[in-house]
Amino acid sequence: MKDLIKKSVEKAMDYSQYNFLLKQLATTGSTTGEQTEEKIRYTKLNFSRSKRLDKIAEISLEKMRAFKNISEKQTWLALCEPWCGDGAQTLPYLNKIAEKSENINLKILLRDENPELMDCFLTNGSRSIPILIMLDEDLNVLNRFGPRSKAATKLVNDYKIQHGKIDEGFKETLQVWYNNDKGVSVVEDILETMKISV
């Protein structure tokens, strides 16, 4: 596992490289992995969402102070894909945290090109993304977060119980929820996962 994580970190992209890939894909009408109309459409949408969040996303000073106070160096390795809606709503906040904390280094890997690592971090047996793997300086796993905040997960699970599956209508509802939540649930859950009190 340690060797797999080391190799994964070495080949992972930083956030600007990931954003460049996202822009290229959106501009050329393409995506990663299987080239379906739906995935290509979501990749374009996610490029717009990420760009918007990179400009407007904010984290409260109090919470940001908590992340800045992390004294040990960490690598945050995120497994994601450009067509992943939850990823587009999460990665910009992870980047904001990493930018402001000198001890957090954010790296991103494409899930479908890294099945061996992904399979070590399944959610209820599925390859749900984004998954954030928090590593210490020696690349030991400290914690994990994802694929969604507890609040978003509850929304998804409640809808599945009521309707049997996730459909297009719900995906729009979830995006509206993300817009209203403004990353608060993601940030709070990460702090809780790391056992950092604000």
Q: How do residues 78-134 score in pLDDT, each as one tens digit? A: 999 999 999 999 999 999 999 999 999 999 999 999 999 999 999 999 999 999 999
What is the pLDDT of the chain when averaged over all its residues? 96
pLDDT (tens digit per residue) in 170-191: 999 999 999 999 999 999 999 9
pLDDT (tens digit per residue) in 23-52: 999 999 999 999 999 999 999 999 999 999
Torsion sign, CA atoms 88, 90, 91, 95: positive
Write out the CATH class of domain 2-147: alpha beta
Q: Which of 68, 59, 30, 58 is nearest to 46 (CA)?
A: 30
User: What pLDDT band is residue 21 in, cutting at 50, 70 and 90?
Assistant: very high
pLDDT > 90: percent of the chain? 97
Q: What's the one-letter identity of residue 157?
A: N
Beta pairing partners, 55: none
Torsion sign, CA atoms 146, 151, 154, 160: negative
Distant-in-sequence, close-in-space partners of 123: CB < 8 Å, separation ≥ 6 = 131, 146, 147
pTM for this predicted structure: 0.95
Parse the chain into domains and list their residue ranges.
2-147
